């Protein structure tokens, strides 16, 4: 691989743990979140939500609410265009009209002078609903005679095999590798066949700042200030729902208090817009914590079935898999798109020569599910790795040995046929093993305490979506970046992109500023998703900065009377080889009068990966970009009397391509492992038999605290990508992916019995211990 070497060989700007520029204002309470943002005259918007999971709206009368003094607007489905012709991938209307499909579905909204009036107005809206039988879990939704969540949904155009275009299946994706005859022979001739089914619950992103959107309507345009990860998606989706051209919607993003995948879609934005249009006043709609738990898109509940043929000498011969993911009542698109990733994720760590994988997304009468850091990776890898432990046990082989025999190595293809010329899984595993006692005997446990450990390798992707950026040389010699890349708390925009540009242009990081995301003010950006900010937005900025750098050198050459090739850019100055120099401020002012201000633009989209398709067919997501390589190790101690789990040691090796800011990487790994611990051991959004979310607060929904998170021993590996800036790859998502896998495997190792369902609660541990005794 060849990529440009660092332009400042001293590494002044990248590879340095620059301070987070947004840190001080956040910890001192000065940062302005959408929560804090308020135009003069802003009204309070509240949403009336359905109390039943499935039903027919017989009557909806908003008139009594409209008559209340201080109520400025009441909106229902009558105020928005109907959704006919909307694609199934994004099918949620702003307000329900005739049918209700989940508890919490918006029926109407009000804008009033204050919250008390708005609450009274909600209570005054008259609603009559005929409750109908609902399907609130995967099993009942897939039953042959199940009620259809979308009764006329077969009219949607879906690229799906004909036999599956029925029932509540939203979308199906599959991968076939090898011929049917080869596949069947592998199972017939296998020394062992192992089968498992794994189950996982919903996980809520629990951002500190809930969803909140403020909208105004001026001169026929909507202006939205909102807490989002993806301003252009909000613009597009809101425009689609309001049936206006996207250019009639402007999206501005103040400081964001956490996203984690949950803030990709328009949820409150269209509601705020309709209320603003009707009231002719700015309107702010804020989710309560209860609404945040009960109505926003969680990581989906799912089940993963795996069946594998294996040889006595520990080789995977063939594998079947079926993933069932709960879409909820409407599709945001994420769960559907990610169904494609699931089939690849299952076959991205080990060589699977023959495969039959299916991934199905199912409609249920429950709140729509959506993206969450790592999408379905945490449950696909949880299933794959605990299944691998089962395979090794079955043939009596050491699990480390089994993994080494099957793990993808350089030049191998993943199950989708994509060749990984740079696979660094063995190196990641070696990094972890050099820091743990894997080969030694475990430290003896105290009486009643059981110790176990596990090591899990991982390949993971970076979103390769498009980005534009512009870099300007200002009149004072400082640098300005305009981009719609969105800072969601990782530091990748506010600090990382500035480091990248500083490195290229040859200034200190504090001389570089970056604009806040505004769809009226910067180029397109694919949003803070899939760990793509540094990789994609950063690369666009690097390219823009390179164009500026060359213009500065040309201008300096003219001023210093030499060849541009002899100019170096150092600390805000253009320096002629061995002699005189001119400051960026002087260059800038000189250029203003000659050929105008200096600026450059850059754009990026990842190239298609390399394939050795052979007999692979059917993958809807065709390839992964910016693949990085990882290993996680955990050692746990289980209390046999109480079932409680202590994490004694947690070790990570993460390939980041190129470390732009090591301290920020450590922060991301720690945050991801923390969220992974929550998923593995505590978190579960439960839904009752009538479709109500049970866990609507932190009293019953337990997230890990600082007391639950052990020190994390991280080694950062640098295996440069061909595309990211200076070789950088995505960082923030991959480290959540293997956490549940490694913790569950370590607990199963400790208690001598497999656990196949998350979260691994003390109750499940005691249940498994009991089964182990009976066996
Ligand atoms: S789930 Mo992430 O925001 O791509």
Instruction: Determine the residue of 733, 735, 737 to mutate for testing ligand 1's pocket, defined as the one with the most ligand atoms within 8 A of the Cβ atom.
Output: 733
What is the pLDDT, as a whole number, of residue 338? 75
What number is the average pLDDT over the span 227-236? 97
CA of 424 to the centre of ligand 1 (A): 24
Residue 87 confidence (pLDDT) above 80: no
Q: Which atom of ligand 1 is nearest to the CA of 532?
A: 4
The CA-atom distances, in angstroms, between 197 and each of 136, 137, 368, 435 are 20, 16, 24, 33
Instruction: Determine the residue of 207, 261, 679 to mutate for testing ligand 1's pocket, defined as the one with the most ligand atoms within 8 A of the Cβ atom.
Output: 261
pLDDT band for position 371 (cuts 50, 70, 90) = very high
CA of 265 to the centre of ligand 1 (A): 11
Q: Which residues pair with 420 in a beta bridge?
A: 412
Q: Which atom of ligand 1 is nearest to the CA of 374?
A: 1
Range of weakest confidence among 181-195, 437-451, 611-625: 611-625
What number is the average pLDDT over the span 51-73? 98
Q: How many CB atoms lie within 10 A of CB 688?
A: 11
What number is the average pLDDT over the span 155-179? 67
CA of 375 to the centre of ligand 1 (A): 6
Q: Which atom of ligand 1 is nearest to the CA of 527?
A: 3
Q: Which residues contact 380 (CB under 8 A, 6 or more apart)?
A: 304, 323, 342, 345, 346
Instruction: With beta carbons less than 8 A apart as the criterion, state whether 226 and 334 touch.
Output: no
In terms of phi and psi (left: phi > 0; alpha: psi -120 to 50; beta: otherwise), the region of 676 is: alpha
Identify the architecture of domain 43-132+211-286 in CATH. Answer: Alpha-Beta Complex (3.90)
CA of 716 to the centre of ligand 1 (A): 22
H helical segments located in 28-76: 63-66
Averaged pLDDT score across all residues of the chain:
92
Instruction: With beta carbons less than 8 A apart as the criterion, state whether 347 and 434 touch.
Output: no
CA of 411 to the centre of ligand 1 (A): 28
The rounded Cα 651 to chain-centroid distance in angstroms is 23
Q: Which atom of ligand 1 is nearest to the CA of 372?
A: 1
Question: In whole angstroms, what is the distance from residue 32 CA to residue 288 CA?
Answer: 19
Question: In whole angstroms, what is the distance from residue 631 CA to residue 715 CA?
Answer: 10
What is the pLDDT, as a whole number, of residue 613? 66
What number is the average pLDDT over the span 30-43? 95
CA of 380 to the centre of ligand 1 (A): 16
What is the pLDDT, as a whole number, of residue 158? 45
What is the pLDDT, as a whole number, of residue 2? 39
Q: Which atom of ligand 1 is nearest to the CA of 375?
A: 1
Give the pair of three-digit tokens for residue 480. 């300005």
Range of weakest confidence among 46-55, 314-323, 554-563, 620-629: 620-629
pLDDT band for position 161 (cuts 50, 70, 90) = very low
The CA-atom distances, in angstroms, between 530 and each of 375, 759, 760 are 9, 24, 27
Edge-first strand order for the sheet with 55-61 is: 99-100, 55-61, 126-131
**Residues above pLDDT 70, as percent of the chain:** 94
What is the pLDDT, as a whole number, of residue 153? 57
- Identify how many contiguous H helices and E strands the chain contains and give both numbers: 19, 28
What H or E segment, with its residue span, contains residue 380? helix 377-394
Question: In whole angstroms, what is the distance from residue 624 CA to residue 609 CA?
Answer: 7
| Phi, psi for 403 (deg, rounded to 5) | -65, -45
CA of 262 to the centre of ligand 1 (A): 8
Q: Could you read off the pLDDT of 457-468 as tens digits, one per residue? A: 999 999 999 999
Instruction: Determine the residue of 371, 462, 731 to mutate for testing ligand 1's pocket, defined as the one with the most ligand atoms within 8 A of the Cβ atom.
Output: 371
Give the pair of three-digit tokens for residue 678. 């929550």
Edge-first strand order for the sheet with 479-482 is: 512-514, 479-482, 467-473, 599-604
pLDDT band for position 4 (cuts 50, 70, 90) = very low
Q: Which residue has the tokens 């910016």?
A: 626
Instruction: With beta carbons less than 8 A apart as the criterion, state whether 199 and 758 touch.
Output: yes
pLDDT band for position 163 (cuts 50, 70, 90) = very low
Question: In whole angstroms, what is the distance from residue 640 CA to residue 674 CA?
Answer: 24
Rounded to a whole number, what is the distance in angstroms from the first to the last CA of the chain? 53
pLDDT band for position 8 (cuts 50, 70, 90) = very low
pLDDT band for position 132 (cuts 50, 70, 90) = very high
Ligand 1 residue neighbourhood (C-beta within 6 Å) = 229, 261, 264, 371-373, 375, 529-530
What is the pLDDT, as a whole number, of residue 156? 42
Q: Could you read off the pLDDT of 235-269 as tens digits, one per residue? A: 999 999 999 999 999 999 999 999 999 999 999 99
Question: In whole angstroms, what is the distance from residue 727 CA to residue 717 CA?
Answer: 12
Residue 1 confidence (pLDDT) above 50: no
The 3-state DSSP class for residue 174 equals: strand
ipTM of the complex: 0.96
Give the pair of three-digit tokens for residue 201. 């619950």
The CA-atom distances, in angstroms, between 304 and each of 175, 318, 385, 754, 757 are 15, 16, 12, 15, 10
What H or E segment, with its residue span, contains residue 459? strand 449-462
What is the pLDDT, as a whole number, of residue 154? 52
Question: In whole angstroms, what is the distance from residue 569 CA to residue 444 CA?
Answer: 59
- DSSP for 514-582, written as a single string: EPPPBTTTS--B--S-TTHIIIIIHHHHHHHHHHHHHHHHHHHHHHHTS-GGGEEEETTEEEETTS-EE
What is the pLDDT, as a whole number, of residue 441? 52
What number is the average pLDDT over the span 11-16? 84
Q: Which residue has the tokens 């002699």?
A: 579
CA of 376 to the centre of ligand 1 (A): 10
What number is the average pLDDT over the span 689-712? 96
Evaluate whether 23-31+465-604 and 302-463+610-774 have a shared fold: yes
CA of 372 to the centre of ligand 1 (A): 5
Range of weakest confidence among 39-43, 144-148, 171-175, 681-685: 171-175
SS3 per-residue string spanning 535-548: HHHHHHHHHHHHHH
Q: Which atom of ligand 1 is nearest to the CA of 259?
A: 3
pLDDT band for position 440 (cuts 50, 70, 90) = low
What number is the average pLDDT over the span 188-198? 98
The 3-state DSSP class for residue 726 equals: helix
Q: Which atom of ligand 1 is nearest to the CA of 463?
A: 4
The CA-atom distances, in angstroms, between 52 and each of 47, 83, 102, 128, 733 are 15, 22, 7, 11, 35
Identify the architecture of domain 302-463+610-774 in CATH. Answer: 2-Layer Sandwich (3.30)
Q: Where are the domains of the chain?
A: 23-31+465-604, 43-132+211-286, 302-463+610-774
What is the pLDDT, as a whole number, of residue 579? 83
Give the pair of three-digit tokens for residue 605. 């989209």
Question: In whole angstroms, what is the distance from residue 774 CA to residue 345 CA?
Answer: 35
Residue 88 confidence (pLDDT) above 80: no
CA of 530 to the centre of ligand 1 (A): 5
What is the pLDDT, as a whole number, of residue 514? 97
SS3 per-residue string spanning 308-338: EEECCCCCEEEEEEEEEEEEECCCCCHHHHH
Q: What is the DSSP letter of 760?
A: -
Residue 357 confidence (pLDDT) above 50: yes
CA of 320 to the centre of ligand 1 (A): 27
Q: Which atom of ligand 1 is nearest to the CA of 262?
A: 3
Instruction: With beta carbons less than 8 A apart as the criterion, state whether 427 and 618 touch.
Output: no
pLDDT band for position 171 (cuts 50, 70, 90) = confident
Instruction: Determine the residue of 264, 525, 737 to mutate for testing ligand 1's pocket, defined as the one with the most ligand atoms within 8 A of the Cβ atom.
Output: 264
What is the pLDDT, as a whole number, of residue 611? 82
CA-based nearest residue to 78, from 58, 94, 101, 100 = 94
What is the pLDDT, as a whole number, of residue 773? 87
Instruction: Determine the residue of 370, 488, 529 to mutate for testing ligand 1's pocket, defined as the one with the most ligand atoms within 8 A of the Cβ atom.
Output: 529
pLDDT band for position 623 (cuts 50, 70, 90) = confident
What number is the average pLDDT over the span 227-231? 98
pLDDT band for position 621 (cuts 50, 70, 90) = low
**Residues above pLDDT 90, as percent of the chain:** 85
The CA-atom distances, in angstroms, between 408 and each of 440, 530, 635 are 26, 22, 24
The 3-state DSSP class for residue 499 equals: helix
CA of 242 to the centre of ligand 1 (A): 25
What number is the average pLDDT over the span 611-625? 71
What number is the average pLDDT over the span 519-541? 96
Q: How many CB atoms lie within 10 A of CB 313?
A: 9
* CATH ID of 23-31+465-604, from 3.30.365.10, 3.40.50.720, 3.40.50.300, 3.30.470.20: 3.30.365.10
CA of 101 to the centre of ligand 1 (A): 25
Question: In whole angstroms, what is the distance from residue 247 CA to residue 517 CA?
Answer: 15
The 3-state DSSP class for residue 228 equals: coil
Instruction: With beta carbons less than 8 A apart as the criterion, state whether 693 and 291 touch.
Output: no
Q: Could you read off the pLDDT of 112-126 as tens digits, one per residue? A: 999 999 999 999 999
**Ligand 1 atom 3: residue of nearest CA:** 261
CA of 263 to the centre of ligand 1 (A): 9
Instruction: With beta carbons less than 8 A apart as the criterion, state whether 460 and 733 touch.
Output: yes
Maximum C-alpha span of the chain:
88
The rounded Cα 134 to chain-centroid distance in angstroms is 30
CA-based nearest residue to 184, from 299, 94, 317 = 317
Q: Which residue has the tokens 């109500």?
A: 692
pLDDT band for position 749 (cuts 50, 70, 90) = very high
Q: Which residues contact 101 (CB under 8 A, 6 or more apart)?
A: 53, 54, 149, 150, 329, 330, 365
Q: Which atom of ligand 1 is nearest to the CA of 373?
A: 1
């Amino acid at each position: 691989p060849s990529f440009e070497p660092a332009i400042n060989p001293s590494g002044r700007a990248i590879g340095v743990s620059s301070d987070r520029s947004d840190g001080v204002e956040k910890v001192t309470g000065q940062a302005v979140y959408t929560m804090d943002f308020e135009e003069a005259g802003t009204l309070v918007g509240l949403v009336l939500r359905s109390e039943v999971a499935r039903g027919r709206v017989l009557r909806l009368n908003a008139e009594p609410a409209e008559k209340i003094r201080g109520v400025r607007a009441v909106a229902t489905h009558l105020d928005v265009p109907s959704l006919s012709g909307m694609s199934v991938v994004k099918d949620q209307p702003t307000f329900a009209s005739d049918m209700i499909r989940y508890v919490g579905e918006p029926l109407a909204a009000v804008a009033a002078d204050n919250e008390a009036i708005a609450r009274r107005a909600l209570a005054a809206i008259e609603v009559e609903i005929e409750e109908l039988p609902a399907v609130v879990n995967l099993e009942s939704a897939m039953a042959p005679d199940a009620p259809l969540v979308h009764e006329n949904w077969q009219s949607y155009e879906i690229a799906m095999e004909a036999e599956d275009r029925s029932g509540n299946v939203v979308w199906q994706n599959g991968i076939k590798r090898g011929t049917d005859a080869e596949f069947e022979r592998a199972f017939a001739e296998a020394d062992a066949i192992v089968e498992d089914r794994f189950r996982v619950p919903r996980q809520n992103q629990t951002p500190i700042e809930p969803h909140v959107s403020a909208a105004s309507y001026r001169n026929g345009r909507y202006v939205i200030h909102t807490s989002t990860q993806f301003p252009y998606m909000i613009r597009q989706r809101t425009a689609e729902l309001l049936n206006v051209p996207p250019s009639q919607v402007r999206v501005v993003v103040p400081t964001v208090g956490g996203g984690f995948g949950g803030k990709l879609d328009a949820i409150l934005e269209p509601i705020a817009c309709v209320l603003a249009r009707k009231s002719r006043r700015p309107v702010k709609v804020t989710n309560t914590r209860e609404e945040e738990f009960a109505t926003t898109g969680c990581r989906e509940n799912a089940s993963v079935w795996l069946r594998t043929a294996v040889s006595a000498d520990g080789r995977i011969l063939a594998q079947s898999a079926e993933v069932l993911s709960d879409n909820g009542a409407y599709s945001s698109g994420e769960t559907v798109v990610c169904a494609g990733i699931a089939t690849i994720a299952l076959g991205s760590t080990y060589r699977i020569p023959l495969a039959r994988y299916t991934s199905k997304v199912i409609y249920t009468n429950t709140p729509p599910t959506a993206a969450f850091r790592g999408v379905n990776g945490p449950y696909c890898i949880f299933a794959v790795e605990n299944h691998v432990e089962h395979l090794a046990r079955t043939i009596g082989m050491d699990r480390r040995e089994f993994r080494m025999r099957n793990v993808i190595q350089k030049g191998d293809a993943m199950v989708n046929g994509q060749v990984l010329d740079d696979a660094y899984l063995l190196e990641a595993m070696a990094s972890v093993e050099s820091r743990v006692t894997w080969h030694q005997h475990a430290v003896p446990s105290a009486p009643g305490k059981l110790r176990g450990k596990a090591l899990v390798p991982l390949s993971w992707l970076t979103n390769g979506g498009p980005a534009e950026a512009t870099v300007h040389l200002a009149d004072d010699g400082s640098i300005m970046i305009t981009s719609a890349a969105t800072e969601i708390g990782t530091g990748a925009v506010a600090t990382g992109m500035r480091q990248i540009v500083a490195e290229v242009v040859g200034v200190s990081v504090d001389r570089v500023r970056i604009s806040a995301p505004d769809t009226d003010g910067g180029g397109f950006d694919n949003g803070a998703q899939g760990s793509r900010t540094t990789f994609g937005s950063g690369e666009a900025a690097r390219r823009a900065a390179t164009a500026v750098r060359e213009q500065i050198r040309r201008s300096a050459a003219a001023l210093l009377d030499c060849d541009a090739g002899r100019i170096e850019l150092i600390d805000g100055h253009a320096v002629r080889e061995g002699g005189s120099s001119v400051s960026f401020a002087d260059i800038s002012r000189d250029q203003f009068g000659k050929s105008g201000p200096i600026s450059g633009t850059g754009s990026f989209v990842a190239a298609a990966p390399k394939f050795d398709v052979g007999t692979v067919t059917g993958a809807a997501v065709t390839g992964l970009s910016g693949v990085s390589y990882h290993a996680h190790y955990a050692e746990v101690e289980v209390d046999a009397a109480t079932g409680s789990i202590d994490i004694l040691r947690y070790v990570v090796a993460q390939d980041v391509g190129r470390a732009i800011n090591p301290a920020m990487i450590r922060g991301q790994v720690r945050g991801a492992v923390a969220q992974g611990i929550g998923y593995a051991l505590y978190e579960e959004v439960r839904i009752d038999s009538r479709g109500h979310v049970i866990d609507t607060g932190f009293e019953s929904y337990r997230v890990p605290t600082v007391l639950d998170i052990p020190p994390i021993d991280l080694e950062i590996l640098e295996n440069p990508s061909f595309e990211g800036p200076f070789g950088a790859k995505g960082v923030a998502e991959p480290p959540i992916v293997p956490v549940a896998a490694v913790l569950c495997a370590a607990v199963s190792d400790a208690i001598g019995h497999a656990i196949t369902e998350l979260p691994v609660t003390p109750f499940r541990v005691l249940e498994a211990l009991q089964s182990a005794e009976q066996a």
